Every structure is written in structure tokens, then in C-alpha cells.
Structure 1
């Protein structure tokens, strides 16, 4: 089974476990019914934007959506998860090849990603992506042009980095004659804790 097929089967299982229809998950996540259907059937590899939106729609972290259930109850204070070369969950999309590292940790506050950037122009990339949280990216090899919704494009060389608000439309494209290699850390969208959902007590 390919990674896309495995992720699709997991997404279908999680959706049905919550008794959600395709249209129900589409309403909660903002991802089109046709896109969800293709992902579940293993014919479409979802971008990070789509993965995060689907996780949020299912009220899960990205680790819980793509990771391993066995570590669900691991205490956050006992985290120690080395990642070796070749480890991780690989998702190959039109613009990026993502390698999600330490995917077995399901309740992470950060999402570490080793990626190869395939798109070489904004026209080739398509619409800007946006999702909850923030992200930090450092270029490991090649050159990257960072396009964003509100700022002029910025070119980054090897060893250079950028920190940005992921809710702002953004895209990374390779500027050189080969695919750029980057490392990115994304934070999960902020979620309200149960205690935060209650109305604060009023002074007497």
C-alpha cells in the first residue's frame, strides 16, 4: 500500500468513526468533497494545507491524522524520539515532497518536515497556501523564493531562513537549476482547552 493509500484509508476510518459524511467533513474543514474523496481513495496526495485543514475539521492534531495510534497516550514530558535518515512519512505532491518526521508522536506542538521543493515558479505552484499556526523554514540546499500575500518576494540561499504566519497566503518555489531542499517546523493551529471554553466567573 502506498503512503497516499494508507493516509486515505486512515482518513476514511477517522471520518466514519466520527459519523461524518464527506460533505460533513468538507463543511468542518473547508476542503472540497471531491478533494476529500480523492484523498480517501489514494488518488491524491494532500498538501500540508489540506492535511492541517482536515485534521482541524476532525478535531485532531496533524500527528493524530498521519501518525501512529500506539503513542497516543505518551506523556509530553517523556518525549525522546530520534529520527534517522529515511525515517518519516513521505507525501509527494505537485509542489513538494514532504517527509513528516517523528510522525509516531501524535500530540506534538510542532510539526517537523524535511521537504524538497519541486515548483520553480509561482505560476507552476498555483494558488498560495494558508493554514493555521506559524512556521519556520531554513534552506538546506539550493535557493528558495518565498512568495506571500502581503509582502514582496524574498529569496533565500543555503543556511538562510524565514519565520512567518501560516494563515497568510504563502508559497515556496525553487529559484535555482535544481530542486531546493528545506527543513520546516510548523506549529499546530491553536486549540481552545476545555477550561478556556467556559465563561469566566463574574466578580461578586
Structure 2
């Protein structure tokens, strides 16, 4: 299991490898300097929206940020990775316990997450979260309430699901007397190709 300290050490390594200061990464990601510092020191487990924003700031996919290595076999014919019970990278936050599955694939177009929902009310959850991409969630056990920025709350029971735009503020809270279990698939935010208007001369 990946701890907050493990993830923090990896984030610091990736930031320094790109010769970025804390303020530089904060500017690129939109995550506060103090928050990045806490994550790097293992004092804070980042929520999914912060993981995605930090990955985008580092010009990485989420798999490259939380995975075991930056490189991998990206041949289309090699993308066949079973995930066994207990596999994945676990990050325990205030509201959710995330288990990122198939994390060894670093350039996935979607992020599969098995999660346990800890918050039992929107007041306990706090501010709605938002990040790039879209997501699909299905309730595997228990009952949840989906709160969002633009729609009335929706209650989902076991076997029921929802699809939403992740750039809209949203929160999942458990509606029963125990933590709910869900499976979620998030798409990576669309990455904009960075090209210069004037291409440099090519050799030859």
C-alpha cells in the first residue's frame, strides 16, 4: 500500500527532476504552496482533484504521478493488466479511501478507482471537489447521496450509477449507517498539445 509519505516523496522527486520550485508547481497546478509542501512531507493525503491538478502541472498522467515508475510499455498490444484482490495504490483521505487500480499502466485514458466513502453528510464532506475529465460511478455496497454544483442531490442504492462532468463541483457522501463502497472510472483531463507557431529548422 502506498502511504501519504510514499506519494509525497514521489511528488518531490518528480518536481525536482523538472527543476520546479514549490511556487512554480503551485502556479502550474493551481494547488497552494502550503498544500504541496504538506503532501510532499507526508502530512496530507491528496484528494483526487488535487492529484489530477498536480499531475497536469507536472505534465504527467495520473498513472505517472502515483504509479511505481514513469516509464512503461505503451505498445497498444501490451495493454492487458489484470487487477487482483488487494492490488492497487491506496490513498486514504478525509472523505474517501481511494484504491487506484492498474496503476502500473502510466498512460491510461481512464482511471479505474475502487473507493470507500467515509463522509456521511455534505457538512462533514466540506467544499465540493472538481477536476478535469468525466466520471462514471456505480454503487457496489451501501447507499450514497450525490451532491453537485448545478443539480439537486441524487440518492443511489446498490447497483445504481451516475455519469457526470467532473469539472462541475461534486461530492459523494454515504447515506447509510456505514461506509459505502463504490467503483468509479474517471477520464484523464484532455491534454493540449504544446506546439510552437514557428518550428525550428530541421537538420539535413
Cα distance in 1, alignment partners of residues 86 and 25 from structure 2: 32
Where do 1:137-148 residues align within 5 Å?
137-148=137-148
Aligned residue pairs total: 197
Shift in Å, 1:198 = 6.2
Q: Is the 8 A contact 2:109 2:188 kept in 1?
A: yes
Deviation sequence 1:83-137 (CA, Å, 0-9, x none): 0000000000000000000000000000000000000000000000000000000
Shift in Å, 1:2 = 5.6
Counterpart for residue 132 of structure 1: 132
SS at match of 2:37: helix
Counterpart for residue 27 of structure 2: 27
SS at match of 1:7: helix
Q: Is the 8 A contact 1:135 1:187 kept in 2?
A: yes
SS at match of 1:171: strand
Cα distance in 2, alignment partners of residues 151 and 172 from structure 1: 13
Counterpart for residue 202 of structure 1: none
SS at match of 1:173: strand
Q: Is the 8 A contact 2:64 2:70 kept in 1?
A: no
Counterpart for residue 10 of structure 1: 10
Counterpart for residue 159 of structure 2: 159
In structure 2, relative to structure 1, the CA distance for the partners of 1:9 and 1:192 (3 Å cut) is same
Q: Is the 8 A contact 1:140 1:181 kept in 2?
A: yes
Where do 1:171-190 residues align within 5 Å?
171-190=171-190
Cα distance in 2, alignment partners of residues 37 and 11 from structure 1: 10
Gaps of 5+ in 1: 200-204
Where do 1:41-120 residues align within 5 Å?
41-69=41-69, 71-120=71-120
Cα distance in 2, alignment partners of residues 76 and 126 from structure 1: 41
TM-score by length of 2: 0.93
SS at match of 1:146: strand
Cα distance in 2, alignment partners of residues 22 and 121 from structure 1: 33
Structure 1: 4+ residue segments shifted above 2 A: 70-74
In structure 2, relative to structure 1, the CA distance for the partners of 1:125 and 1:20 (3 Å cut) is same
